[in-house]
């Protein structure tokens, strides 16, 4: 067996690895580095001879694991790509979104090599994708096999996001287990990982947080309660929340936590706003709720939470001059985004309080005296998209951030629209105009009426 790291840089980035086992070449994941622009964002596939890859295995649909997949399948056109059925659905959404982001970056940043692949390239790549069930042993042709003389693989639930899986690869009585990203604790929306407990000879695992131990007093229940307590405090003061989180995984987690708060009568039916990418992904979460490892398989997030859909193009084109104030979102470290609360003037508490929320890996920034329309500046590189959950004027909004240079974003807190605009997964829902966080806003510090 031989294991080769195909990433160009150390650290979290373009996850991709070549495993040679039993005379077969298998590429594990094909990510894009969210911290780098241009061709350097991809793994170094040049070390792998073209046409000699027997299979590609994808563990989940985050960009740092699938962001280069269409570029890889373009050079390995006859190679099957194995992933779970859920990952198949989500990857198509994420990769088409990636094309849009790269096209915009070509125009705004002058990155002439972008896009690295096109929408047609995603569609062609998808033709080689094979959806696989969990705990089903298959050979590299995608056929069921218990033959130890064949190289076989088997997916196991990883508990990270919808469709995430670790993979057990066997040959000749020996086995290798590659975890991908893993979470062993039950989340509000996903159950914890269910990995094999024996029969593994070599373990290859992610170590995103492997250099830090869990604090002795830390419990997920405690962090969730701390998060809920902060939300309750802002709601009781008549404030607004903006919670930047990834469109895939964290958005659905936050919605599920807010759903539990609503069941307990802690927040009532306050308006919740989410971005368009989050809607598409949450639709998949709802559609596959009964077929995936969910903590609450009965929960239909869009139906129960009825979020409003945020779209930015209208306000960028016609309403951005109404911005009164922009302030930076606080960052704890490279992995953290901020949960920011805007308190109405006179609500008490001056300045800002900061509380690190281990539940979401985010810093809570509670700002007193901010006007109702306020915003933040975020730096989500490449396709590391974030969505924020916000509760404006007693509501919550989830908004998407994109890296486009140092684009500035405006999170507007509009009055709750009519019921006709609520998103219940139905076509034709009215769109609430809010700044397009995929485009740089050029109005930082603008006064009302200014253009």
Three-state SS at 374: coil
H or E stretch covering 411: none
DSSP assignment of 93-150 equals HHHHHHHHHHHHHHHHH--TT--SS-HHHHHHHHTTEEEE-BT--EETTS-B---TTS
H or E stretch covering 387: strand 386-391
Q: pLDDT at position 331, please?
A: 29
Q: Residue 24 is encoded by which pair of tokens?
A: 């077969």
Among residues 48, 43, 40, which one has the least CA distance to residue 19? 48
Series of mean pLDDT values for 10-residue runs along the chain (451 residues): 90 89 97 89 93 97 96 96 98 96 92 95 98 98 96 97 97 96 93 94 86 82 90 85 87 95 91 90 95 92 90 43 30 33 38 41 39 26 36 43 26 32 33 30 28 29
Cis peptide before 115 (omega within 30 of 0): yes
Q: pLDDT at position 372, please?
A: 29
Instruction: Check residue 264 and report its DSSP letter.
Output: T
Q: pLDDT at position 246, please?
A: 87
Q: pLDDT at position 383, please?
A: 33
Spell out the domains of the chain, with CATH numbers in brackets.
2-204 (3.60.15.10), 220-433 (3.40.50)
Q: pLDDT at position 311, please?
A: 62
Q: Which residue has the tokens 């800002």?
A: 352
Three-state SS at 226: helix
**For the segment 53-67, what is each residue's pLDDT rounded down to a tens digit?**
999 999 999 999 999
Q: How far apart are CA 302 and CA 255, in angstroms?
A: 9
Q: pLDDT at position 313, please?
A: 53
Q: pLDDT at position 174, please?
A: 96
């Amino acid at each position: 067996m031989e294991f080769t790291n195909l990433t160009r840089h150390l650290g979290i980035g373009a996850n991709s690895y070549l495993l040679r086992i039993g005379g077969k070449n298998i590429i594990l994941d094909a990510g894009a580095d969210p911290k780098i622009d241009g061709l350097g964002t991809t793994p170094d596939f040049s070390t792998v001879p073209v046409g000699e890859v027997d299979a590609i295995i994808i563990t989940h649909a985050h960009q740092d694991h699938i962001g280069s997949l269409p570029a890889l399948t373009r050079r390995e056109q006859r190679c099957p790509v194995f992933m779970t059925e859920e990952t198949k659905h989500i990857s198509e959404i994420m990769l088409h979104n990636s094309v849009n982001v790269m096209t915009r970056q070509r125009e705004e940043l002058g990155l002439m090599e972008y896009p690295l692949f096109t929408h047609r390239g995603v569609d062609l790549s998808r033709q080689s994708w094979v959806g696989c069930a969990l705990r089903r042993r298959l050979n590299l042709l995608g056929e069921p096999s218990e033959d130890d003389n064949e190289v076989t693989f088997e997916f196991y639930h990883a508990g990270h996001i919808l469709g995430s899986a670790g993979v057990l690869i066997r040959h000749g009585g020996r086995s290798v287990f590659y975890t991908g990203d893993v979470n062993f604790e039950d989340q509000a929306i996903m159950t914890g990982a269910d990995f094999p407990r024996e029969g593994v000879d070599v373990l290859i695992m992610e170590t995103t947080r492997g250099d830090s131990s869990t604090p002795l007093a830390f419990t997920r229940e405690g962090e969730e309660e701390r998060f809920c307590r902060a939300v309750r405090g802002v709601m009781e003061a008549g404030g607004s929340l903006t919670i930047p989180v990834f469109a895939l995984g964290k958005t659905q987690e936050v919605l599920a936590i807010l759903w539990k708060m609503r069941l307990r009568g802690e927040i009532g039916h306050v308006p919740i706003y989410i971005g368009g990418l989050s809607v598409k992904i949450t639709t998949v979460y709802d559609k596959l709720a009964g077929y995936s490892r969910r903590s609450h398989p009965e929960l239909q997030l869009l139906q129960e939470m009825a979020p409003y859909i945020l779209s930015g193009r209208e306000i960028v084109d016609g309403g951005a001059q109404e911005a009164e104030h922009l302030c930076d979102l606080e960052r704890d470290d490279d992995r953290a985004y901020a949960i920011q609360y805007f308190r109405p003037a006179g609500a008490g508490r001056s300045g800002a309080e900061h509380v690190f929320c281990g539940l979401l890996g985010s810093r809570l920034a509670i700002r007193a005296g901010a006007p109702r329309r306020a915003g933040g500046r975020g730096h989500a590189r490449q396709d590391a998209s974030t969505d924020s959950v916000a509760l404006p004027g007693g509501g919550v909004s989830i908004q998407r951030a994109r890296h486009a240079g140092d684009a500035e974003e405006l999170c507007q807190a509009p009055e709750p629209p009519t019921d006709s605009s609520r998103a219940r997964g139905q076509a034709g829902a009215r769109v609430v105009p809010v700044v397009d966080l995929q485009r740089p806003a050029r109005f930082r510090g603008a006064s009302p009426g200014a253009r």
